[in-house]
Amino acid sequence: MLSIALSELVQIFRNRLVLVTSLIMPAAVSAVFIYQHEGFAALGSLGYIAAIIMFTVGAFGLYATAVTTLASRRQNLFLKRLRSTAAGDTDILAGLLLPVTVISLVQVTVIMTVLAAVAGEPDNVLLLAAAVVSMVVMMLGLGLATAGVTNSPEHAQVTTLPVSLGAIAVASWVGITGTEELTLLKRLLPGGSATELVLNAWNGGVPVGESLILLVPTLGWVVVSLVLASRIFRWEPRR
C-alpha cells in the first residue's frame, strides 16, 4: 500500500490539473474567506466560515481529486495491473487515495489554524476534529461511488460537479440559516449534519453529547456510498 501511495504522491505533483484542483483552488478560496472573515461572520458566524473552508477543501481538494485519480488509473489500465499483483483491492484503493487524503487533512488543519489565529479559536477542538474526519470519510465514500460512473479524467470534471457544488451549497444554507427550521431535511442532506457539527464545535453553546449525534447522518452517507461503490465501481474501462 505504501509503495502505491508514494507513487501516487509523485503523480499528484506532476499533474498540473490535479495540483490546481487539490491544492491551489481550495487554498485560494479559503484565503478569501479568512481575509474577509468579518464580513462573512456577519452573514453567518466563524463556524460558518470554518464549515465552508472544510467543504471547499473536501469537495475540490479531496472528492474531485479522488474521482479524477481513480478514473485516470482505470483508463490507463493501472488499476488492472495492480490487481494482478499481491495487493488486495482495499490496499490498492487505500494506496491511491492516501496521498490526497493526507494533503487535504493537512490543508484543513493549516487553514483552520490560520482562521483561529486571525479571528478567534474554536470552542471545542476535538469536536471540530471529529467533524473534519467525518467529512473526509464521507467525501472518500462519495468519491468511490462517483468514480464508478466516471469514464475518464475529463469526464470527472462533469460527474463531480453535482456533489461538489451541492455539498458547498448545503454547508452555506445550514451555516447561514441554522437548523431551527427544516431541521431533519438539513441534517439528512450530505454535508448538513457535518456543517452543524462544525458550527457547534466553533461557536459553542451546545452540549457535546447532542453534537456527537450529528455524526450519524454523515456516517449514513458513508454506508450508502460504499454500498453503491461496491456495485458500480469498475476496475477496467468499459468496452
80-100 pLDDT, tens digit per residue, is 888 888 778 889 999 999 999
- The mean predicted confidence, pLDDT, of the chain is 87
- The answer, yes or no, to whether residue 133 has pLDDT greater than 90, is yes
| Amino acid identity, position 55 | F
Sign of CA dihedral 155, 59, 144, 227: negative
- The answer, yes or no, to whether residue 239 has pLDDT greater than 70, is no
pLDDT confidence of residue 9: 77
- The answer, yes or no, to whether residue 23 has pLDDT greater than 70, is no
List, in order, residues 6 or more apart from 128 with CB less than 8 Å away: 50, 112, 122, 198, 201, 202
- The answer, yes or no, to whether residue 40 has pLDDT greater than 60, is no
pLDDT confidence of residue 20: 67
Asked if 143 and 156 count as a contact pair (C-beta separation under 8 A), the reply is no
More reliable by pLDDT, 85 or 132 = 132
Asked if 48 and 41 count as a contact pair (C-beta separation under 8 A), the reply is yes
pLDDT confidence of residue 33: 67
**What are the grid coordinates assigned to 22, written together?**
487539490
